[in-house]
Amino acid sequence: MGTKNNSDSTDSAGGGSNQMWGGRFAAAPDALMERINASIGFDKALYAQDIAGSVAHARMLGDVGILSDADVTAICDGLAGIRDEIEAGTFEFKTELEDIHMNIEARLTERIGDAAGRLHTARSRNDQVATDFRLWVRDAVDAADDALKALQTALIDQAEVHADWVMPGFTHLQAAQPVTAGHHLLAYVEMFGRDRSRFSDARARLNESPLGAGALAGTGFPIKRDMTATALGFDRPTANSLDSVSDRDFVLEYLAAAAICAGHLSRLGEELVIWSSAQFRFARLSDAFSTGSSMMPQKRNPDAAELIRGKTGRVLGAFVALSTVMKGLPLAYSKDMQEDKEPVFDAAEALMVCVAAATGMIADLTFDRERLAAAAGEGFTTATDLADWLVREAGVPFRESHHITGRVVALAEEKGCGLEDLALAELTAIDERISNAVFDVLGVDNSVRSRNSYGGTAPDNVRAQVISARERFLK
């Protein structure tokens, strides 16, 4: 995050005209510099991670003999008290102290005195913030996984109930072939499963500790980086001190996974908007996720679904913003990297509220079975079943069967009826190879039952996939 002015300084607060930066600077920053430089307005969100990192660092320094046992105890107790103050809302965050690190260190000095100044031994704000931010992003990844699991649970539960409810499947938003509502819902279970996998992959790569990398070159103190890595739940320390403090790939990976996930949420939101419209009437959102119109009393607006769709831009924008910040930075640390926090915090909040809203909407969603079935038969959606039947049962080459089926559709359209409503004589007049057995696949219920290939929409398939999805995603 680079929440400091001179990125390579590891000094704690000292004397001089500017206590923050020490004797190198003769004058204090003016108000504008203070404003552009300070990050406490947003990086205070890292307080828990900053305190956890400092506790681990203090205990390691004590273990190697750099700090006395008394100093370690004072530091850890003081940090615990500061955490309590922040969580109680009584901690005073000061802009002139720039960032969360110096705000906490200054308060620690007030609480325990000189021992606080020893905490920053063998540590820079560069490796400190890199550690804090990895811990925060790791927590965000875990929260996203938990939330997506809850959304998958709601989708799977609905899919099980609606395993044999027939509805139209679409391509180009035109009725294509009948599917079941359960099958449609399980498609989103797969999408969100891939999202969880992407978050999991990102977590595995980010779970290395930068603590101890110093400003950029490591430290000459006899520290134990493995000890602090283990204490903070990391798999290992990072291998290169330059990369440790300049890497923000872990943030970009989180944002990339979040952006793809937000895209999936947006698609689901769009379908909920469509399904709940008066023109479709496939489903109804509960009152909890609908609003009315200030002018038109008949309206039920799917505002929650629309907001999910809209917030996708914020998440994607965060990825673009940070990619742009990082694209031209030389190694190691640059102040530009302070701009990595706000977009991520905003994107994470937007993603979590969208997942939660989607979960609530799906759990409360009610379908209109009669309307779904009626719509499933509109647009001659079983035409492909007729073409497939001609290939399978009459040995007709598919290109020829496609032409025959087109003529049958034209006849049904002319008569204003469904394919299954045509008489056998009318069908054989088009092609004598059509027999009465064709009616076993015409009609939407027959159509979906026949789609029993692995991954297909047949109700028995859907029920089997519900069981499989619970095993794959919810265990």
User: Which are the catalytic amino acids?
Assistant: 172, 293
Contact present, 58 and 120 (Cβ < 8 Å): no
Q: What is the 3-state secondary structure (H, E, C) of 377-437?
A: CCCCCCHHHHHHHHHHHHCCCHHHHHHHHHHHHHHHHHHCCCHHHCCHHHHHHHCCCCCHH
Least Cα distance to 358 among 172, 164, 191 occurs for 191
Contact present, 322 and 255 (Cβ < 8 Å): yes
- Measured between alpha carbons, how far is 322 from 456 in angstroms, rounded to an integer? 41
Token reading at 218: 């490591």
Strand partners, 174: 171
Token pair 């409360």 is found at 364
DSSP per residue, 36-101: HH--HHHHGGGHHHHHHHHHHHHHHHHHTTSS-HHHHHHHHHHHHHHHHHHHHT-----GGG-SHH
The percent helix, strand, coil of the chain (3-state, each to 5) is 65, 5, 30
Q: Which helix (H) or strand (E) holds 470?
A: helix 459-473
- Measured between alpha carbons, how far is 41 from 125 in angstroms, rounded to an integer? 17
SS3 assignment, position 236: strand
Contact present, 135 and 124 (Cβ < 8 Å): no
DSSP per residue, 103-120: HHHHHHHHHHGGGGGGTT
Contacts of 198 by beta carbon, 8 Å cutoff, 6+ apart: 256, 257, 260, 261
